[in-house]
Amino acid sequence: MTTPIMPKSDAADLIVAARIRQGLTWAAIAEKIDAPLVWTVAALLGKHPVPADKATAVVEMLGLGEGVAESLRRQPTRTPDEAATSDPTIYRFYEALDVYGPALKELIHEEFGDGIMSAINFKVDIARRADPGGDRVVVTFDGKFLDYNW
């Protein structure tokens, strides 16, 4: 009898707990596995499949088992979860896209033509910028333009 595969959400909970328990930052983990910071966090929270060598490095670093590594290697199901409406930070991203999404779409079409921004050939970054009125959160989406082919 084989052991069932650990759900990605369970693996994520174990990773977060081990990271906190060991006093590690997400940046330290990303550096250890030689991966972009935001991608690393998203992947370890279950939103990307993690290559085998990186999954192994993470579980060794955090003292977790093969079940977590196996879960990390699996392809995720990407659907909004309850945090989309219950977590204020995540909700603000939804709110920002609700307000500005149609305008951004119009501007993309005006600048590039008929097409979309890829979320596969894509980079995302986050930075802190000092401001006299309070520090600012700067989020950068950098996606390849994919023109519509008739």
Task: Spell out the residues 6+ positions from residue 143 whose beta carbon is closer than 8 angstroms to its own.
Answer: 117, 118, 119, 121, 122, 123
| Residue 31 falls in the annotated catalytic set | no
Distance CA 75, CA 59 (A): 18
Q: Which amino acid is at 132?
A: P
Q: Where are the domains of the chain?
A: 8-73, 83-147
Query: What local confidence, expressed as pLDDT, does residue 78 receive?
Result: 74
The Cβ of residue 104 has, within 10 Å, a number of other Cβ atoms equal to 13
Of 31, 60, 66, 95, the active-site residue reads: 95
| Residue 95 falls in the annotated catalytic set | yes
Residues of the chain where predicted confidence (pLDDT) is lower than 70: 1-2, 83
Of 21, 31, 60, 118, the active-site residue reads: 118
Phi, psi angle pair for 125, to nearest 5°: -140, 160
Q: What's the CATH number of domain 83-147, 3.30.1160.10, 3.30.70.2200, 3.40.50.300, 1.20.1630.10?
A: 3.30.1160.10
CATH number of 8-73: 1.10.260.40
Query: What local confidence, expressed as pLDDT, does residue 1 receive?
Result: 62
Query: What local confidence, expressed as pLDDT, does residue 28 receive?
Result: 97
Query: What local confidence, expressed as pLDDT, does residue 86 receive?
Result: 83
Of 21, 60, 66, 92, the active-site residue reads: 92
